[in-house]
Amino acid sequence: MLLCSLPLFTNGQQSVCTRRTTSTQAYQYYAEGSYQVSYSCGFLWLSTCYRSSYNSQVRYGTKFVYDLEVVCCSGYSSVGGDCLPTCPNCP
């Protein structure tokens, strides 16, 4: 999407615009957790005992990355790092 409503001015002319770019980026992270498991124990298994267990696992996700890119506006071309008019009779 070209945002020429928000121009930058070079030599008093509207020649440089910004464009919003969106990309996705994959990433991984580690998740750790614990949980309790109950089981019968004791004399004739009449009591309840608890055991804690720990686990970790790798999980994957995706995030959006937004950035603004500086480009020449419509009717201008990049020449040597400057945005110059593409037609010779332009003001």
Report pLDDT digits (tens) over 8-61. 444 455 788 888 999 999 999 999 988 899 999 988 889 999 999 888 999 999
Task: Name residues whose C-beta falls within 8 Å of residue 62's C-beta, 6 or more positions apart in sequence.
Answer: 24, 25, 26, 27
Q: How many domains does the chain have?
A: 1
pTM for this model (two decimals)? 0.41
| Residue 50, domain extent | 2-85
80 within domain boundaries? yes
90 within domain boundaries? no
38 within domain boundaries? yes
68 within domain boundaries? yes
